[in-house]
Amino acid sequence: MQTHPKKKLELIIEKPITQRLLAILNDLDVTGYTVLPAIAGRGQDGTWEEGQITDASHMVQILCVLDEAKLEEVLSATFEALKPQIGIVYVSDVQVVRKEHF
């Protein structure tokens, strides 16, 4: 089966900024993304876990698959939105079977 190279962008962000990031992805016509809850982790400030009193301390993960040609534009826009927020950004190479979906 033939596969096709794409880029995977992973964002781990505070839940309250989710809709702003999804609006950016939609405006940039990113057609392949999924939002998942991030329930626990550890970063430079120590460990954290879900179960806090407000959504402000909850985290989500947004996974995107896109063409490399779009990557810089999407990274720039998402990074600008994340500057004042807690957020982690990963980029990796992936192979997809149905390239027309991304």
Question: Residue 51 has what pLDDT?
Answer: 61
What pLDDT shows up at residue 35? 97
Determine the pLDDT at residue 100.
82
Within the chain, which residues score under 70 in pLDDT? 50-57
Q: Provide the residue type at 100 as one letter.
A: E
**Identity of the amino acid at 102:** F
- Cα–Cα distance measured from residue 36 to residue 48, given in angstroms and rounded to the nearest whole number: 16
Specify the pTM. 0.85
* Helix %, strand %, coil % of the chain (to 5): 35, 40, 25
For residue 62, list its beta bridge partners.
11, 35
Confidence at residue 93, expressed as pLDDT on a 0 to 100 scale: 97
CATH number of this structure's domain 4-101, picked from the four choices 3.30.70.120, 3.40.1280.10, 3.40.309.10, 3.40.50.10190: 3.30.70.120
Q: What pLDDT, on a 0 to 100 scale, did the predictor assign at position 53?
A: 46
| CB-based contacts of 32, cutoff 8 Å, min separation 6 | 64, 65, 66, 101, 102
